[in-house]
């Protein structure tokens, strides 16, 4: 776990907040006031991924950025499981504890399934959905086939399956603090200029010991074992999604989550949603293209705010 007040040379200067509602000390950033942007990271990142968005939007929005259990500045309890459904439970507990409403979900990587799980349980709390290289599973009939086809070609998922089969998965991810850069490169980013000692330290510091890699290991192992359970959408959630504003921003060079496979899943759930593919941008698109993503998100929020005002 990263030190509570660690700022990584001022690149993450946000005061820490903690909730024990999920049954452990769950860290979150809470900056600004106004409509809520709830930003959900994936594997093997943490709230640091959203540092540019926090700075950009905290002047007009309340930006809440939790670290999932076992990631970032959140605790890594040894007596918990780290499957998708556990992360949905934790997020639900945090959102209810903070009494968040009028939420715009901003989801990256496995933050997508976690956020969609929250939407399934509490559609009344969600006003917009933004997927940034984040899957949007929502009971689509083709979901299983899509995941299997993607996994058969994505280097990250191929490695997970091989490592689980040969028994090396625990050892490799147990040393994630040492091999974080190679793991991030395997998943994919395009801009090598972002690699600085501070940047590497920020991502490595979340996994200083083997016992603190349970979050990253759990997500990978859960995929290999088929232990992750996607939240089934309720009838109310399905009805809401027929009208909810939605935006997908996808780095076209994503080697882990292929746009050609996952954008159709997005369109199936959000038939009126907007899609923007970013050429030359990889899986960690918030690192490759933070300014572009901020600009697209700002346009989307402004447009949907105006639409809401006109409708009212």
pLDDT digits (tens, 9 = 90+) for 172-194: 999 999 999 999 999 888 888 99
What average pLDDT score do residues 143-172 get?
95
Residue 162 has pLDDT above 60, yes or no: yes
230 versus 240: which is more confidently predicted? 230
Residue 17 has pLDDT above 90, yes or no: yes
For the segment 21-76, what is each residue's pLDDT rounded down to a tens digit? 999 999 999 999 999 999 999 999 999 999 999 999 999 999 999 999 999 999 99
Give the burial class of 278: count Cβ atoms within 10 A of its Cβ; 0-12 exposed, 13-18 middle, 19 or more buried.
buried
Residue 224 has pLDDT above 50, yes or no: yes
- Integer angstrom CA distances of residue 122 from 33, 35, 68, 97, 113: 22, 17, 19, 14, 14
Which of 83-87, 110-114, 239-243, 285-289 has the weakest average pLDDT?
239-243
* pLDDT number for residue 1: 77
Residue 308 has pLDDT above 60, yes or no: no
Pairwise CA distance, residues 285 & 36, whole Å: 22
pTM recorded for the entire structure: 0.95
Average pLDDT score, the chain: 94
């Amino acid at each position: 776990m990263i030190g509570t007040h660690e700022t990584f040379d001022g690149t993450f200067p946000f005061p820490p907040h903690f909730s024990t509602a999920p049954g452990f000390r769950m860290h979150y950033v809470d900056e600004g006031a106004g409509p809520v942007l709830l930003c959900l990271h994936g594997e093997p990142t943490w709230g640091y991924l959203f540092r540019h968005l926090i700075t950009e939007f905290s002047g007009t929005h309340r930006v809440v950025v939790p670290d999932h259990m076992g990631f970032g500045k959140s605790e890594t309890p040894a007596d918990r499981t780290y499957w998708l459904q556990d992360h949905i439970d934790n997020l639900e507990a945090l959102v209810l504890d903070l009494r968040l409403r009028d939420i715009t979900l901003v989801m990256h990587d496995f933050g997508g399934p976690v956020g969609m799980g929250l939407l399934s349980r509490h559609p009344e709390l969600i006003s917009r959905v933004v997927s940034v290289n984040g899957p949007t599973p929502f009971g689509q009939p083709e979901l299983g086939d899509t995941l299997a086809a993607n996994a058969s070609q994505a280097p990250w998922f191929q490695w997970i399956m091989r490592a689980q089969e040969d028994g090396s998965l625990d050892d490799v991810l147990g040393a994630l603090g040492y091999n974080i850069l190679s793991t991030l490169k395997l998943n994919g980013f395009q801009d090598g200029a972002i690699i600085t000692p501070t940047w590497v330290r920020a991502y490595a510091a979340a996994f200083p010991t083997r016992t603190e890699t349970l979050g990253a290991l759990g997500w990978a192992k859960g995929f290999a074992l088929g232990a992750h359970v996607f939240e089934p959408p309720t009838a109310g959630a399905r009805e809401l999604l027929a009208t909810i504003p939605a935006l997908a921003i996808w780095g076209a060079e994503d080697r882990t989550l292929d746009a050609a496979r996952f954008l159709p899943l997005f369109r199936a759930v959000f038939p009126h949603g907007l899609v923007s593919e970013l050429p030359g941008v990889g899986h960690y698109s918030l690192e490759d293209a933070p300014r572009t993503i901020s600009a697209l998100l700002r346009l989307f929020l402004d447009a949907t705010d105006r639409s809401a005002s006109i409708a009212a």
